[in-house]
């Protein structure tokens, strides 16, 4: 009987799973709509007074998305004011929806990847995982790896789409 050989394991291909860089922490949402007069207008005096009544400690060590889910014109200073209250307690603060902040955090983590371990290696950037990965992360990792990798592929080690091969 002939032994079964795992050709994928012997190929020297390194698999990079972007899903492992997704933030696992929850993201708190600070929605400005809760502070609008009649759901439409931000009154400075009332807004400032209401911010003073918030227990900002509820945002301690959390990533916070500042957003406004109402269709209202919000002056820029209002976002800045909320950020100034959050800064001493929050882990990070961003403007946008929870999903947009999740993507920003993912991109920051991908940016931090040390590419030395991929130097002159064959790399498969895993695709088709359980959780959808934003296109921007695939673009960013390709940009980072192309400078160092011998080759870049997309998919699974057993079934890949070639992206780049060093000549």
**pLDDT confidence of residue 5:** 45
Q: pLDDT tier at 1 (50, 70, 90 boundaries)?
A: low
* Interior/surface letters 95-125, b for 16+ CB within 10 angstroms, e for the rest: beebeebbbbbbbeebeebeeeebeebbbbb
Q: Is 133 exposed, middle or buried (0-12, 13-18, 19+ CB in 10 A)?
A: buried
Tell me the pLDDT tens digit for each residue of 118-163.
Answer: 999 999 999 877 888 999 999 999 999 999 999 999 998 788 999 9
For residues 69 and 10, the model is more confident at 69
Domain ranges of the chain: 7-23+103-165, 27-90
Q: pLDDT tier at 91 (50, 70, 90 boundaries)?
A: very high
Q: pLDDT tier at 167 (50, 70, 90 boundaries)?
A: confident
Tell me the pLDDT tens digit for each residue of 21-32.
Answer: 999 998 999 999
Paired residues of 31 in beta bridges = 67
pLDDT above 70 as % of the chain: 93
> What is the pTM for the complete model shown?
0.82
């Amino acid at each position: 009987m002939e032994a079964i050989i795992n050709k994928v394991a012997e190929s020297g291909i390194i698999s990079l799973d972007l899903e492992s860089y997704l933030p696992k922490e929850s993201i708190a949402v600070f929605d400005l709509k809760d502070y609008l007069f009649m759901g439409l207008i931000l009154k400075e005096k009332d807004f400032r007074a209401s911010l003073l009544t918030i227990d900002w400690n509820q945002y301690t060590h959390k990533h916070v998305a500042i957003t406004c889910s109402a269709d209202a014109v919000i002056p820029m200073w209002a976002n800045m004011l909320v950020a100034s209250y959050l800064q001493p307690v929050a882990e990070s603060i961003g403007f946008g929806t929870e999903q947009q902040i999740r993507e920003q955090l993912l991109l920051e983590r991908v940016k931090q990847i040390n590419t030395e371990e991929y130097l002159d290696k064959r790399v498969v950037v895993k695709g088709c995982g359980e959780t959808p990965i934003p296109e921007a992360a695939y673009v960013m990792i390709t940009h980072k790896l192309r400078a160092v990798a011998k080759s870049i592929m997309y998919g699974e080690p057993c079934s890949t789409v070639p992206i780049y091969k060093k000549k």
